[in-house]
Amino acid sequence: MFPKVLVCVVGARPNFMKMAPIIRQLQAVRHLIIPYLVHTGQHYDQAMKDTFFQQLGIPEPDKDLGVGSGSHAVQTANVMLRFEPVLDEVKPFAVLVVGDVNSTIACGLVAVKKNIPLIHVEAGLRSYDRQMPEEINRILTDQLSDLLFTTERAAADNLTREGIAEQRICFTGNVMIDTLLANCQQASSLAETLQRYGSKQVVSEKAYALLTLHRPSNVDDPETLERLVRVVGDISEKLPVIFPVHPRTQQKIAEAGLLQLLPQQRVIMLPPVAYLEMLGLMQAAQLVLTDSGGLQEETTALGVPCVTLRENTERPITITEGTNTIVGTDPAKIMQCVDDILHTGGKSGRVPEYWDGKAADRIVDEILRRYELAR
Ligand code: UD1
């Protein structure tokens, strides 16, 4: 029997950490499955894409669709138009997508319309907030999928409520944590990272807050953004804040003229940092302030307190078992949570089931079994 081709799709920064261990496991069964990696080009800057591929050992994509940025409709449509000919050429037995970005739903929709089975890794997460573009992408991708791999047990309940048959759901754990555990030892130190970006400020390990912000609900509305920037300024009076700034956020802070609200000596703004730098910054932080889904999970795995600047989370296990606290964007609540962490050390938490570095092994085993591609 000849090996069969599995098209694997990545598009944006958080996809890269999820796909890296899957590609590695697939390469170990190349006699059965040939991974064909497509990068849609949703994220394209050196700092948003290339450094991640290099650090995570992801091979160069077999195809780069080069779609770039755009409105949701433009971006999604461009991915679809450019992805369809790839499937015609490669004729895979299935398409595998990860996460919840626009590239995930765009490629999923193209695949199923061509009767190619869709596999979704990180299925079943729900914020129940349809204002979030990712929530729409999650719901629709899960409805389209033939095989759904989940990161936490509650995800299966969400899926069965939406009418998805239990046999299509498989709890395999968290591939992003596979990547985290594989790279912990190689993480860049705080000093290395600050030096690399020419930062002159002196910051000590376990004595700073790490901040990331990029959700449209937080950064696209100037009023919300100003409220958050002001509270970051207040927090920085208590402890320094390291803030790697997403391109979307950089643009919005500049447009709204908010830069002067962040005292330069206390808020260290960096460009988007590479994976090993971010991992090091998380490990050495006293606490993390974020609206990212990925960081909520990574801080839980690392045991670092996380303050989530959103009204909800699609990753409830980070609250029930992990170190995460949801505070929203009310400055008083944010300050109270930060103070609490500074005084008590914050939630200690434990690492959730199957966040053990072996999720990708389980996923590849299950794909071999389901599609009868014996080892
Ligand atoms: C996307 C995902 C989001 C994910 C985030 C991680 C969707 C709907 N959103 O949001 O789920 O959490 O990625 O970063 O898929 N830009 C650059 N360089 C790049 C990429 C983007 O400068 O390499 C700028 C562009 O101005 C662009 C803006 O960032 O318009 C936003 O990029 P986009 O891919 O639309 O969404 P993200 O906010 O990155």
For residue 2, name the pLDDT band (cuts at 50, 70, 90).
confident
> How many whole angstroms separate alpha carbon 316 and alpha carbon 127?
9
Give the nearest ligand 1 atom to 49 CA: 23
Catalytic positions, written as ranges: 214
For residue 374, name the pLDDT band (cuts at 50, 70, 90).
confident
Which residue's alpha carbon is nearest to atom 11 within ligand 1? 101
Residue 158 has which token pair?
A: 């969400």
Ligand 1 residue neighbourhood (C-beta within 6 Å) = 12-14, 42-45, 48, 69, 101-102, 133-134, 214, 246-248, 251
Residue 50: pLDDT over 90: yes
Residue of 9, 13, 40, 42 best suited for mutating to test ligand 1, as the one with most atoms within 8 Å of CB? 42
Residues 97-106, mean pLDDT to the nearest whole number: 98
Reported as a single tens digit per residue, the pLDDT across 149-158 is 999 999 999 9
Give the nearest ligand 1 atom to 99 CA: 11
Residues 104-113, mean pLDDT to the nearest whole number: 98
What is residue 375's predicted lDDT score, i.e. its pLDDT?
Answer: 60
Which residue's alpha carbon is nearest to atom 33 within ligand 1? 69
Residue of 43, 215, 246 best suited for mutating to test ligand 1, as the one with most atoms within 8 Å of CB? 43
For residue 367, name the pLDDT band (cuts at 50, 70, 90).
very high
Output the DSSP codes for 146-207: SEEEESSTHHHHHHHHTT--GGGEEE---HHHHHHHHHGGGPPPHHHHHHHTT------TTS
CA of 102 to the centre of ligand 1 (A): 10
Evaluate if pTM is beyond 0.95: yes
Burial of residue 137 (number of CB atoms within 10 Å: 0-12, 13-18, 19+): buried
Which residue's alpha carbon is nearest to atom 15 within ligand 1? 101
Looking at residue 31, its amino acid is: H
CA of 44 to the centre of ligand 1 (A): 10
Which residue's alpha carbon is nearest to atom 31 within ligand 1? 248
* Inter-residue contact 107 to 97 (CB < 8 Å): yes
CA atoms lying within 13 Å on the CB side of residue 151: 28
Residue 201: pLDDT over 90: no
CA of 339 to the centre of ligand 1 (A): 32
CA of 46 to the centre of ligand 1 (A): 14
Reported as a single tens digit per residue, the pLDDT across 275-316 is 999 999 999 999 999 999 999 999 999 999 999 999 999 999
Residue 120 has which token pair?
A: 């979704």
Residue of 74, 101, 253 best suited for mutating to test ligand 1, as the one with most atoms within 8 Å of CB? 101
Which residue's alpha carbon is nearest to atom 20 within ligand 1? 43
Place of tokens 């780069």: 64
> How many whole angstroms separate alpha carbon 153 and alpha carbon 131?
25
Residues 328-335, mean pLDDT to the nearest whole number: 98
The residues facing 306 across adjacent strands are: 288, 324
Residues 92-116, mean pLDDT to the nearest whole number: 98
CA of 43 to the centre of ligand 1 (A): 6
The pLDDT mean for the chain works out to 97
Looking at residue 162, its amino acid is: E
